[in-house]
Copies of this chain bind each other. A is one copy, B any other.
Amino acid sequence: MEMASMRLFPSMFAALSPQTSTSSLSTLPANKLILPRKRLYRASKEAVSLLHSAQEIEKPIAGTSFPLQDVLEAQQFDRDLLNSIFEVAQQMEKVEKDSTSSRAHVLDGFLMATLFYEPSTRTRLSFESAMKRLGGEVLTTENAREFSSAAKGETLEDTIRTVEGYSDLIVLRHFESGAARRAAEVANIPVINAGDGPGQHPTQALLDTYTIQREIGRLDNIKVGLVGDLANGRTVRSLAYLLARYSGVKIYFVAPDVVKMKDDIKEYLDSRNVDWEESADLMEVASQCDVVYQTRIQRERFGDRIDLYNEARGKYIVDRKVMDVLQPHAVVLHPLPRLDEITIDVDTDPRAAYFRQAKNGLYIRMALIKLLLRGW
């Protein structure tokens, strides 16, 4: 068991963005995510110090403050913190199920601003549903890049300093890597990164991990096949990173040549003694794995090389044949949206878990919003 202090100040690692050079993985200072200018927020009054009361605590004490002030990167979450969040997420399934017979009042009077500089209806509605299922309210903008003062040249920092005056929590989607970090550095209210360009999308990484826990029943001793665009897909990179927190994990990389998993993640997995291998045989991998995680090949990554795109796109398709070799307890995941990399006829198979996965995004976001605003 890790000490509580490790849970409160999780060790920090390199950014997961594809641009990160391998060498940076072990050189960042451990306290990089402790933002000096952030003041203690509303929950502080109830924050009986978890740090000093005990060295070994298995579960957070109800009413104590959440160790994170913002949710910016997958690296903020160690194994204990993930487990505790997943327990809250599971409670949220009940809160959501009961919401129409008995509306929740957990976040009565709280206001969340969803500031989307890049439209993403799915992610935005998921966050907004999460807030409203908890009884909170939402201010929304679905196209801040075009509709806000950003178009007049205002800095993100100035926008944040204004919007924090109107709300209790900011959910930021931005087209620039590092934007969420910059927002968190000036904001006196919590910031959740809902995707910053090629950078991070931590709530997606958490919901992916939570889905494996819910579907397979464990995160230790599992075999996971990551399929598709492994070079550019931030979701598979973050997922590989979080899986390294667990023991006995085996990862298979199944990718067309032009979009193979990059060395930084492979070296990171090596450093954590995580077993991995590359494979060109999706059928073989599917027959071995507990989880097949399929991703979309993104056309925009290929520029003029439509030929390479088409070759990559058609290479690894999850279809009925793949499902035929998949083990009965195994599942297929996908971050969505899906084009034709999973055929429609797979949808009715009970092992097709991608829409349940999308729904889990709601529970994870409910949990994070609740924890940031009200503590454990």
* Chain A residues engaging chain B, CB cutoff 8 angstroms: 42, 99-104, 108-111, 113, 119-122, 124-126, 128-129, 132-133, 137, 139-144, 146-149, 152-154, 158-159, 161-163, 165-168, 296, 336-339, 355, 358-359, 362, 373
The answer to whether A158 and B111 touch (CB under 8 A), given A100-B42, A125-B141, A147-B121, is no
CB atoms of A119 and B146 under 8 A apart: yes
CB atoms of A336 and B149 under 8 A apart: yes
CB atoms of A152 and B337 under 8 A apart: yes
**Can you list 24 A-B pairs, Cβ within 8 angstroms, ordered by A?**
A42-B100, A99-B109, A100-B168, A103-B109, A111-B133, A119-B146, A121-B141, A121-B148, A122-B148, A122-B159, A124-B141, A125-B141, A129-B139, A129-B167, A132-B139, A142-B142, A142-B147, A149-B337, A154-B336, A154-B337, A158-B337, A161-B355, A165-B355, A165-B362
Which B residues are in CB contact (< 8 Å) with A355?
A: 161-162, 165
Residue of B nearest to A107 (CB): B100
Which B residues are in CB contact (< 8 Å) with A140?
A: 140
Chain copies in the assembled complex: 3
CB atoms of A109 and B119 under 8 A apart: no
The answer to whether A338 and B154 touch (CB under 8 A), given A109-B100, A149-B122, is yes
Closest 3 CB pairs of A and B: A103-B109, A119-B147, A121-B148
CB atoms of A121 and B144 under 8 A apart: yes
Which B residues are in CB contact (< 8 Å) with A153?
A: 337, 339
| A356–B99 CA distance with the chains assembled, in angstroms | 35
CB atoms of A110 and B100 under 8 A apart: yes
| A346–B153 CA distance with the chains assembled, in angstroms | 18
Partner among B126, B129, B141, B359 whose Cβ is within 8 Å of the Cβ of A142: B141
A42 CB to closest chain B CB (Å) equals: 6
| A374–B359 CA distance with the chains assembled, in angstroms | 23
Which B residues are in CB contact (< 8 Å) with A359?
A: 165
Which B residues are in CB contact (< 8 Å) with A111?
A: 99, 129, 132-133
